[in-house]
């Protein structure tokens, strides 16, 4: 198991707004289809994707985070399939999803499964902390959970990259939006 956060980080009350990476590139999203939110936490991105018309499956190891997600979805009138499981052990399938989202979870072993899970023409939205995060006082501290320079871009080099950025302004983060060729 390669959990990036222990539950004290995962279940603490956090933002309910979707990740800026998703909203900034919302125009790329299909209007229907299947989406997978990997390591979804309390589901802010899952709910947003469902409200955009996608059939969303959200997976996380934390029962408490998923409970929070169910509550948020209920209050917003959104339908999401919530699954409690280890994302690394969960079978993502092949050519299953039109959109795969993964935020603040790093597992190099998962990269090939993510690539296979995206349908031809489908999208990947991925953002997580880099080793630059160690320069900041808060956030994850375990280097095993932090991206190396260029890691995310190299891991998905076979996809058509629409956006990639590594920044250390306020926190160390790498962001990727890419499409699997049709």
Per-residue pLDDT of the chain (182 residues; tens, 9 = 90+): 344 434 333 444 456 799 999 999 999 999 999 999 999 999 999 999 999 999 999 999 999 999 999 999 999 999 999 999 999 999 999 999 999 999 999 999 999 999 999 999 999 999 999 999 999 988 899 999 999 999 999 999 999 999 999 999 889 999 999 999 99
Within a domain: residue 8?
no
Q: Which domain holds residue 45?
A: 30-179
Within a domain: residue 117?
yes
Residue 169: the pLDDT is: 85
Within a domain: residue 6?
no
**Three-state SS letters, 30-58:** CCCCEEEEECCCCCHHHHHHHHCCCEEEE
Within a domain: residue 138?
yes
Q: Which of 114, 108, 104, 98 is nearest to 158 (CA)?
A: 114
Within a domain: residue 19?
no
Residue 14: the pLDDT is: 56
- Those residues whose C-beta lies under 8 Å from the C-beta of residue 93, and which sit 6 or more positions away, are 116, 117
The CATH number assigned to the domain holding 169 equals 3.40.50.150
- Considering its fold, how many domains does the chain have in total? 1
Within a domain: residue 129?
yes
**Distance (Å, rounded) from C-alpha 4 to C-alpha 146?**
8
**Distance (Å, rounded) from C-alpha 34 to C-alpha 111?**
19
Within a domain: residue 5?
no
Within a domain: residue 39?
yes
């Amino acid at each position: 198991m390669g959990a990036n956060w222990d539950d004290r980080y995962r279940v603490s009350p956090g933002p309910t707004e979707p990740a800026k990476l998703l909203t900034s590139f919302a125009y790329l999203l299909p209007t229907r289809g299947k989406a997978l939110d990997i390591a979804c936490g309390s589901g802010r991105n899952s709910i947003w994707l469902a409200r955009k018309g996608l059939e969303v499956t959200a997976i996380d190891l934390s029962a408490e985070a998923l409970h929070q997600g169910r509550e948020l979805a209920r209050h917003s009138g959104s339908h999401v399939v919530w699954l409690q499981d280890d994302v690394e052990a969960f079978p993502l399938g092949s050519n299953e999803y039109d959109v795969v989202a993964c935020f603040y979870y790093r597992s190099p072993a998962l990269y090939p499964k993510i690539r296979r899970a995206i349908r031809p023409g489908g999208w990947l939205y991925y953002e997580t902390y880099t080793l630059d995060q160690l320069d900041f006082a808060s956030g994850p501290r375990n280097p095993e959970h932090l991206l190396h320079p260029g890691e995310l871009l190299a891991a998905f080099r076979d996809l058509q990259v629409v956006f990639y950025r590594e920044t250390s302004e306020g926190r160390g983060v790498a962001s990727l939006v890419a499409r699997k060729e049709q």
